[in-house]
């Protein structure tokens, strides 16, 4: 392996340019940035020492991506114009590739230089807008602008593949696409250079075993510093990431510059804010971040204003060196764990031009609904959010009174929240966390009780509604099938419909007696006898009907067994008699009577019907009882959803009462 050996033009210490793509080497002896030119080595200037961090990466570390090995040979450290550092690691691959592994807030992005097609020019830095799609960059997925800003190279080590000039600002734009696609435009070059890749995990690039470096000396140095306002000793939990810290003794807001404190101002504490969870508390949520332990390093109070009334909520900043920063948000005594999401994965949908126009006055990136991970989130509120009070450490230069545009979208138990400025767009996903879970996680003595419905509070009885509806539907189906089968299979318990032709009587006052054929009746059921004649309304017939046991001889002799009808009704040609059956057995119907036209024959039609006693009223009662359970729960859920949406001017989504019942979500 060949490499260029030379002496540092500043201190004469030996230098080695081991990679052909290396342009600058930072002299390990005097910290000079030495550039390789066509004629000689050039001393660019001194560079600051790398700010120590708990990064799991280091020079010489080897990994693998796309089946190719790589080595980290250099590191550039940049400072954002709004505060905060990030690292860019120079990765040299075994197949000749040159890549950059950026590390910011616990996330990693691997990118490669991508030349633009001939004749294609990028939009100027001054004209690009947040959320704008950069169609000039060839990519499998569209890349949109998530952030535009200015950064400064402040430190470096190892070998760098470009002419790094410490202290020189550069404009940049970070791009996002679906499926973790990532890109960056470096406007410091002319023409601007494009780097395209994706967000990765250390495990995906063969660095899963890397561990964060513990900087004990750095921690001790930070701990020894005192507040420049009151002299109180301060200790930073994340000294290499912190840009702002508040003094717990004098309530001063301090700027942090590589461990040095600068007094900014005393915080306005006219509103007395208290935090339920203490700074420094550690805890792990099993359902988030693989159960990794995170520490509370800062807390703030923010507010929105509606109708001249301020509404406050609290945000706790969580930190883990391998994961980065997360948030635990408490609003109206409800809690949510908040994680960042890829802005390109969120699709904003505008339902109507009028609604969109009213919303976009506050925020040009907000709409009526958004979709994320195949879920539809409905707009809950949009308003400027203001920082009211801060405590602890923060990774950006937070200011009391700082304001950003926000929009919240709900799909319980989750809430998508957007924050935007002219220079940056961020989306985060908050997931509802049970109050008792928060209390146990951070060993808090007590947390305030719930008293209103939170925007993303889940309705916990969806499963019960679903189960009760399933039981009701199953019962109705079974009842319908059984009823249909019973109707088809029911046997007539009376005899066959019987017809008689009565012979003419010998005199007007003569009586004719008729016995029907025997039929079977069941105890405890009413029997209804119907007697019809073929007379018209100008004539008449008169018969008395009695029910007797089916024994002709006994019927003639023992009249005690004769049962007269309990209910009688007559129309022009029919008579109805009802009998209460007290014993199961065979019976006959005995008819005795005469008719007006006694000299002519008379046709009779006799039918005795004893239908099975219907269980229909019982079935209806059971259906009512079973149906009342989901009905009461649906009314309760309707009230629950109404209370949820009563706190916003956004329209309540259609079908909100039924949401989550059949989907199981």
Asked if omega into 413 is within 30° of 0 (cis), the reply is yes
Q: Which residue has the tokens 């109805």?
A: 576
What is the structure's pLDDT at 141?
87
Q: Which two tokens stand for residue 355?
A: 């609604």
Q: What is the pLDDT of residues 121-136, one digit of tens each?
A: 999 999 999 989 999 9
Residue 267 pLDDT greater than 80, yes or no:
no
Are 467 and 528 contained in the same domain?
no
Compute the average pLDDT of residues 560-577.
61
Residue 28 pLDDT greater than 80, yes or no:
no
Rounded percentage of the chain residues whose pLDDT exceeds 90: 26
Number of domains in the chain: 4
The residues near 404 (Cβ < 8 Å, ≥ 6 apart) are 384, 385, 419, 420, 421
- Yes or no: say if 390 and 402 are a contact pair by the CB < 8 Å rule: no
What is the structure's pLDDT at 355?
36
In this prediction the pTM is: 0.71
| Domain limit, last residue, from 155, 176, 205 | 205
What is the structure's pLDDT at 2?
45
Compute the average pLDDT of residues 487-499.
59
**Distance separating alpha carbons of residues 368 and 370, to the nearest angstrom:** 7
pLDDT bracket for residue 295 (50, 70, 90): very high
Are 513 and 621 contained in the same domain?
no
Q: Helix 462-489 vs helix 616-645: angle between axes, to the nearest 10 degrees? A: 160
Are 480 and 601 contained in the same domain?
no
Q: Which two tokens stand for residue 401?
A: 């009174």
Which domain does 369 fall in, by range? 268-441
- Yes or no: say if 581 and 525 are a contact pair by the CB < 8 Å rule: yes
**Distance separating alpha carbons of residues 127 and 114, to the nearest angstrom:** 22
Please report whether residue 294 resides in a domain: yes
Closest CA to 386 of 442, 312, 440: 312
Compute the average pLDDT of residues 34-47.
55
DSSP category for residue 191: S
Are 433 and 516 contained in the same domain?
no
Please report whether residue 518 resides in a domain: yes
Are 638 and 591 contained in the same domain?
no
Residue 356 pLDDT greater than 50, yes or no:
no
> H or E stretch including 317?
strand 309-320
Q: Which residues on adjacent β-strands are paired with residue 205? A: none
Specify the CATH number for the domain of residue 513.
Answer: 2.60.120.380
Residue 322 pLDDT greater than 70, yes or no:
yes
Residue 458 pLDDT greater than 60, yes or no:
yes
What is the structure's pLDDT at 579?
85
Q: Which residues on adjacent β-strands are paired with residue 91? A: 72, 99
What is the structure's pLDDT at 428?
95
Are 190 and 283 contained in the same domain?
no
- Yes or no: say if 415 and 408 are a contact pair by the CB < 8 Å rule: yes
Q: Which two tokens stand for residue 100?
A: 């950059």
Q: What is the pLDDT of residues 171-229, one digit of tens each?
A: 999 999 998 999 999 998 888 999 999 999 888 999 887 766 554 434 434 444 677 77
Residue 128 Cα to chain centre, angstroms: 32
Residue 353 pLDDT greater than 50, yes or no:
no
Residue 440 pLDDT greater than 90, yes or no:
yes
Rounded percentage of the chain residues whose pLDDT exceeds 70: 76
Please report whether residue 231 resides in a domain: no
**Cα R_g (the chain), whole angstroms:** 44
Please report whether residue 590 resides in a domain: yes
Please report whether residue 84 resides in a domain: yes
What is the average pLDDT score of the chain? 80
Q: What is the pLDDT of residues 390-399, one digit of tens each?
A: 988 888 888 8
**Distance separating alpha carbons of residues 459 and 462, to the nearest angstrom:** 6
**Distance separating alpha carbons of residues 476 and 640, to the nearest angstrom:** 29
What is the structure's pLDDT at 341?
92
Q: Which two tokens stand for residue 425?
A: 């767009």
The residues near 665 (Cβ < 8 Å, ≥ 6 apart) are none
Compute the average pLDDT of residues 289-302.
93
Residue 417 pLDDT greater than 90, yes or no:
yes
Are 116 and 10 contained in the same domain?
yes
Q: How far is CA 240 from CA 53, 270, 325, 526, in A?
A: 5, 32, 13, 93
- Yes or no: say if 218 and 240 are a contact pair by the CB < 8 Å rule: yes
Lowest mean pLDDT among 155-164, 336-345, 349-358, 623-632: 349-358
Please report whether residue 544 resides in a domain: yes
Are 363 and 293 contained in the same domain?
yes
Q: Which two tokens stand for residue 527?
A: 């029997």
Are 139 and 274 contained in the same domain?
no
Q: What is the pLDDT of residues 500-537, one digit of tens each?
A: 888 899 888 888 888 888 888 888 778 888 888 887 76
What is the structure's pLDDT at 16?
59
The residues near 533 (Cβ < 8 Å, ≥ 6 apart) are 541, 573, 574, 595, 602, 603, 604, 605
Residue 277 pLDDT greater than 50, yes or no:
yes
What is the structure's pLDDT at 146?
92
Are 504 and 549 contained in the same domain?
yes
Are 524 and 477 contained in the same domain?
no
**Sign of the Cα pseudo-torsion (592, 596, 598, 600, in order):** negative
Between 473 and 84, residue with greater pLDDT: 473
Please report whether residue 517 resides in a domain: yes
Please report whether residue 369 resides in a domain: yes
What is the structure's pLDDT at 216?
42
Longest dimension (CA), the chain: 154
Between 209 and 101, residue with greater pLDDT: 101
Are 41 and 127 contained in the same domain?
yes
């Amino acid at each position: 392996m060949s490499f260029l050996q030379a002496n540092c033009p500043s201190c004469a210490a030996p230098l080695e340019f081991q990679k052909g793509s290396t342009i600058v080497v930072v002299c390990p002896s005097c910290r000079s940035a030495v550039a390789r030119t066509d004629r000689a080595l050039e001393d660019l200037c001194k560079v600051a020492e790398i700010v120590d961090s708990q990064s799991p990466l280091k020079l010489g570390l080897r990994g693998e991506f796309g089946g190719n090995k790589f080595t980290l040979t250099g590191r550039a450290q940049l400072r954002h114009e709004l505060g905060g550092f990030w690292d860019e690691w120079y990765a040299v691959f075994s197949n000749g590739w040159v890549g950059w592994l950026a590390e910011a807030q616990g996330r990693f992005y691997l990118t490669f230089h991508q030349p633009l097609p001939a004749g294609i020019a990028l939009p100027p830095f001054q004209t690009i807008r947040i959320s704008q799609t950069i169609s000039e960059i060839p990519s499998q997925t569209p890349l949109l602008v998530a952030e535009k800003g200015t950064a400064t190279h402040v430190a470096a080590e190892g070998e760098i593949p470009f002419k790094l000039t410490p202290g020189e600002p550069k404009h940049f734009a970070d791009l996002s696409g679906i499926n973790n696609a990532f890109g960056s435009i470096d406007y410091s070059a002319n023409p601007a250079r494009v780097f395209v890749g994706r967000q990765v995990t250390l495990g995906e690039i063969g660095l899963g075993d890397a561990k964060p470096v513990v900087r004990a000396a750095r921690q001790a140095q930070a701990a020894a510093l005192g507040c420049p306002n009151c002299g109180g000793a301060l200790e930073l939990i994340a000294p290499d990431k912190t840009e702002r810290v508040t003094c717990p003794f004098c309530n001063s807001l301090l700027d942090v510059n590589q461990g040095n404190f600068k007094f900014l101002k005393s915080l306005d504490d006219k509103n007395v804010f208290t935090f339920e969870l203490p700074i420094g508390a550690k805890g792990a949520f099993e359902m988030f971040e693989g159960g990794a332990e995170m520490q509370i390093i800062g807390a703030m109070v923010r507010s929105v204003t509606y109708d001249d009334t301020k509404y406050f909520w609290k945000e706790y900043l969580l930190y883990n060196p391998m994961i980065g920063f997360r948030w635990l948000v408490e609003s109206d005594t409800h809690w949510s764990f908040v994680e960042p999401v890829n802005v390109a994965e969120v699709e904003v949908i505008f339902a109507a031009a009028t609604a969109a126009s009213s919303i976009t006055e506050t925020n040009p990136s907000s709409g009526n609904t958004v979709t994320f991970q195949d879920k539809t989130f409905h707009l809950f509120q949009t308003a400027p959010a203001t920082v009211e009070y801060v405590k602890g450490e923060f990774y950006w230069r937070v200011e009391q009174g700082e304001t950003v545009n926000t929009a919240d979208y709900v799909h319980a138990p989750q809430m998508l929240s957007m924050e935007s400025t002219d220079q940056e767009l961020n989306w985060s996903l908050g997931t509802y966390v049970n109050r008792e879970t928060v209390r146990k996680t951070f060993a808090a003595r007590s947390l305030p009780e719930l008293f209103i419905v939170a925007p993303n509070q889940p309705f916990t009885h969806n499963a019960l509604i679903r189960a009760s509806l399933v039981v009701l539907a199953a019962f109705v189906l079974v009842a319908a099938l059984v009823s249909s089968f019973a109707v088809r299979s029911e046997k007539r318990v009376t005899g066959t419909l019987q017809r008689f032709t009565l012979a003419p009587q010998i005199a007007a006052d003569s009586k004719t007696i008729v016995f029907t054929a025997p039929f079977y009746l069941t105890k405890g059921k009413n029997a209804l006898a119907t007697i019809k004649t073929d007379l018209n309304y100008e004539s008449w017939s008169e018969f008395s009907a009695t029910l007797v046991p089916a024994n002709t001889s006994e019927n003639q002799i023992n009249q005690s067994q004769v049962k007269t009808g309990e209910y009688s009704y007559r129309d022009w040609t029919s008579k109805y008699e009802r009998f209460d059956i007290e014993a199961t057995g065979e019976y006959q119907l005995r008819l005795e009577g005469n008719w007006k036209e006694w000299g002519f024959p008379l046709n009779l039609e006799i039918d005795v019907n004893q239908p099975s006693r219907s269980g229909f009223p019982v079935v209806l009662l059971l259906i009512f009882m079973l149906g009342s359970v989901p009905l009461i729960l649906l009314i309760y859920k309707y009230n629950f959803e109404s209370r949820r949406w009563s706190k916003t001017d956004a329209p309540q989504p259609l079908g909100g009462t039924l949401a989550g019942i059949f989907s199981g979500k």
